[in-house]
Amino acid sequence: MGSSEMGWKLKDHPKLPKGKVVAVVVLDGWGEASPNQYNCIHVADTPTMDSLKKGVPKRWRLVRAHGTAVGLPSDDDMGNSEVGHNALGAGRIYAQGAKLVDSALSSGKIYEGEGFKYIKECFEDGTLHLIGLLSDGGVHSRLDQLQSLLKGASEHGAKRIRVHILTDGRDVLDGTSVGFVETLEDDLAKLREKGVDAKIASGGGRMNVTMDRYENDWGVVKRGWDAQVLGEAPYKFRNAIEAVKKLREETKANDQYLPPFVIVDENGMAVGPILDGDAVVTFNFRADRMVMLAKALEYEDFDKFDRVRFPKIHYAGMLQYDGELKLPRYYLVSPPEIERTSGEYLVYNGVRTFACSETVKFGHVTFFWNGNRSGYFNQEMEEYVEIPSDSGITFNVQPKMKALEIAEKARDAILSGKFHQVRVNLPNGDMVGHTGDIEATVVACKTADDAVKMILDAIEQVSGIYVITADHGNAEDMVKRDKKGEPILDKNGNVQILTSHTLQPVPLAIGGPGLLPGVKFRKDVPDGGLANVAATVMNLHGFEAPNDYEPTLIEVADN
């Protein structure tokens, strides 16, 4: 369609008025599951969300939030914030990073691209470093992709390889790090048999080392830098299996929070610091938790922490993590080209927009919502507010997080009369759910419900409309289950706590005094997913969605 004026102009909706204030609330990690003791949303006191559910089927329904409905490789893939918010904002389903990397690897195209050629220039004299999340969670990275890349890189000439691992325990069960390291060590041993000098060089838990996001705590990235680049860490081991096992035992840290460590040789020297002339690939496909490291690796001017040494390397991301910043400059696989998002259309069509969350989710309702684009479409029409998150804590300690502050900002924006769309992400169910602390997650869910109430009250006052939904499940199921759905017990008879997201659908509720009485959910889109929400919201602003958007979920009955 291009960017001509005609191209951006949306058609008027034949029945729905313009100018209403529409609150769009994304409850992060809030899925729908059967009620039981591990469903924290069920256990929590959530009168507001419960009352919305009474609107079924006309004003409350479920939408799909995982797998192919959000562009992931298969329906065994749980949803996540990136793909969820991409779908919500873009209104279409894009093949996402996980899938794009799969096909680039299986076709071998990854080795023909500019990015690989660039890192290959260092293979003769330098080391290839691979940094990323060692996990099969499929949210930020996948172990099988790393395995394939290791094999492919060595076949394409890499002679010395160092892997810098980040242990997970967030998108996968806690304790699985040991098995992943064993698998990787097997692969590296096979490479060594073929004459490739391949080793694990450093590591640490993802939440403690490297994978911070939205600049919440640069100390996390610095700890990684010290280990990966400088070869310095508080813990030194001769091998990574021992490192992970001992650190879990002795420091009592879980996989997410393992302290940084380096692997040393018989003389106590780090086996793989990053040096001038080396190549580095960050093998996560997802952007949010790699952007900060990418900046540290790429930017000549950098003042976020003292890098001590800034090696002259050839660096490529698995994907380009930020299209606006063109960061990193080199990448192995092109990211999905998400364009013409609902946010851009609405702003063009005069819809004044306010978006808010706290730091740890701020980019979700802005960057991800806008198709992985940072910044405003039109600064005069939009205001994005970030409330600083607490840093240096696990969120089970503060399960209320900043939900009420976010709701207050939303309330003020709604009452100000300045905005037509007020969009927020409430992080609690997800961020606290990831800690695996059930009691705290119950408090988190109650707080998110209180925040929704505050927003609905404001909508009531301005005769507006609300759209309440979620990006994927998490807090509604906190236990690992077998195929029959029964909790899996460990050898001591304890349930295995599920810290990850789920495959569950999420609720979608609409209402408010500004919604015409005849508006209800259609019955002919039973498999609707998050991508159908954009057209629905456009309708509620009084516009028809573009033809290629996934269909709206509402219809207007003549009364």
Ligand X SMILES: O=C(O)[C@H](O)COP(=O)(O)O
Site string for ligand X, 231-270 (x = CB under 6 A): ----------------------------------------
Only segment of 10-18, 30-38, 73-81, 175-183 that touches Mn ion (CB under 5 A) = 73-81
Q: How wide is the angle at C-alpha 442 spanned by C-alphas 436 and 448, nearest 5°? A: 110
Interacting residue with Mn ion among 16, 20, 28, 363 (CB under 5 A): 28
Side-chain-side CA neighbours of 180 within 13 Å: the count stands at: 28
Residue 181 in tokens: 């390291």
Nearest residue (CB) to Mn ion, 347 versus 426: 426
Only segment of 32-40, 55-63, 323-331, 422-430 that touches Mn ion (CB under 5 A) = 422-430
Interacting residue with ligand X among 32, 77, 136, 171 (CB under 6 A): 171
What contacts 533, CB < 8 A, 6 or more positions away? Answer: 63, 87, 88, 91, 467, 469, 508, 553
State yes or no: residue 430 binds Mn ion (CB under 5 A).
Answer: yes
Q: Please tell me the distance from the alpha carbon of residue 299 to that of residue 550, in angstroms, as a whole number.
A: 39
Q: What residue number has its CB nearest to ligand X?
A: 81
SS3 content of the chain, % helix, strand, coil (to 5): 35, 20, 50
Q: Please tell me the distance from the alpha carbon of residue 532 to that of residue 534, in angstroms, as a whole number.
A: 6
Q: Is 501 annotated as a binding residue?
A: yes
Minimal distance in Å, beta carbon 502 to ligand X? 11
Q: Please tell me the distance from the alpha carbon of residue 516 to that of residue 193, in angstroms, as a whole number.
A: 70
Q: Is 301 annotated as a binding residue?
A: no
Interacting residue with ligand X among 139, 166, 347, 351 (CB under 6 A): 139
Q: Is 288 annotated as a binding residue?
A: yes
Q: Is 329 annotated as a binding residue?
A: no
State yes or no: residue 86 binds ligand X (CB under 6 A).
Answer: no
Whether 81 sits among the annotated catalytic residues: the reply is: yes
What amino acid occupies position 425? N
Classify the C-alpha dihedral 494-497-502-507 as positive or negative: positive
Q: Residue 81: how many CB atoms within 10 A of its CB?
A: 26
The string of DSSP letters for 223-262 reads HHHIIIII---SEEES-HHHHHHHHHHHH---GGGPPPEE
Only segment of 78-86, 143-151, 373-381, 398-406 that touches ligand X (CB under 6 A) = 78-86
The entry of ligand X, Mn ion, none near residue 289 (CB within 5 to 8 angstroms by kind) is ligand X
Only segment of 77-85, 98-106, 119-127, 263-271 that touches ligand X (CB under 6 A) = 77-85
Q: Please tell me the distance from the alpha carbon of residue 528 to that of residue 550, in angstroms, as a whole number.
A: 9
Nearest residue (CB) to ligand X, 30 versus 60: 30
Q: Is 66 annotated as a binding residue?
A: no
What are the backbone dihedrals phi and psi of residue 546, each rounded to the nearest 5 degrees, phi first? -55, 155
Site string for ligand X, 382-421 (x = CB under 6 A): ----------------------------------------
Please report, as residue ranges, which positions from 427 to 466 form the binding site for ligand X (by CB under 6 A): 430, 434
Dihedral in degrees, nearest 10, Cα atoms 155, 156, 161, 163: -90
Nearest residue (CB) to Mn ion, 31 versus 511: 31
Please give the size of the binding site for Mn ion, defined by CB under 5 A.
Answer: 4
Please report, as residue ranges, which positions from 23 to 42 form the binding site for ligand X (by CB under 6 A): 28-29
Of 81, 177, 342, 357, the catalytic one is: 81
The entry of ligand X, Mn ion, none near residue 295 (CB within 5 to 8 angstroms by kind) is none
Q: Which residue has the tokens 């050898």?
A: 491
State yes or no: residue 288 binds Mn ion (CB under 5 A).
Answer: no
Nearest residue (CB) to Mn ion, 31 versus 336: 31
Please report, as residue ranges, which positions from 325 to 364 form the binding site for ligand X (by CB under 6 A): none
Nearest residue (CB) to ligand X, 362 versus 521: 362
Only segment of 74-82, 254-262, 325-333, 345-353 that touches ligand X (CB under 6 A) = 74-82
Q: Which strand ranges, in their side-by-side order, compose the sheet holding 421-426?
A: 60-63, 506-511, 465-470, 22-27, 421-426, 353-358, 382-387
The β-bridge partners of 189 are none
Q: What residue number has its CB nearest to Mn ion?
A: 81
State yes or no: residue 217 binds ligand X (CB under 6 A).
Answer: no
Length of the chain: 559
Q: Please tell me the distance from the alpha carbon of residue 67 to that of residue 409, in angstroms, as a whole number.
A: 33
Cis before 507 (ω within 30): no
Interacting residue with Mn ion among 39, 48, 81, 86 (CB under 5 A): 81
Q: Is 170 annotated as a binding residue?
A: yes
Please report, as residue ranges, which positions from 176 to 205 form the binding site for ligand X (by CB under 6 A): none
519-521 vs 261-263, strand pairing mode: unpaired
The continuous run of DSSP H or E covering 100 comes out as: helix 97-107
Residue 199 in tokens: 């080793």
Please give the size of the binding site for ligand X, defined by CB under 6 A.
Answer: 12
What contacts 23, CB < 8 A, 6 or more positions away? Answer: 410, 414, 421, 422, 423, 424, 455, 456, 458, 459, 464, 465, 466, 467, 512
Minimal distance in Å, beta carbon 501 to Mn ion? 6
In 420-476, DSSP assigns E strands to: 421-426, 465-470
Site string for Mn ion, 432-471 (x = CB under 5 A): ---------------------------------------x
State yes or no: residue 170 binds ligand X (CB under 6 A).
Answer: yes
Q: Residue 208: how many CB atoms within 10 A of its CB?
A: 20
What contacts 208, CB < 8 A, 6 or more positions away? Answer: 220, 223, 253, 256, 257, 258, 259, 260
Nearest residue (CB) to ligand X, 28 versus 298: 28
465-470 vs 353-358, strand pairing mode: unpaired
Q: Is 28 annotated as a binding residue?
A: yes
Residues of each annotated binding site for substrate? 140, 170-171, 206, 213, 286-289, 361
Active site residues: 81
Residues of each annotated binding site for Mn(2+)? 28, 81, 430, 434, 471-472, 501
Residues of each annotated binding site? 28, 81, 140, 170-171, 206, 213, 286-289, 361, 430, 434, 471-472, 501
Q: Which residues bind ligand X (CB under 6 A)?
A: 28-29, 80-82, 139-140, 170-171, 289, 430, 434
Q: Which residues bind Mn ion (CB under 5 A)?
A: 28, 81, 430, 471
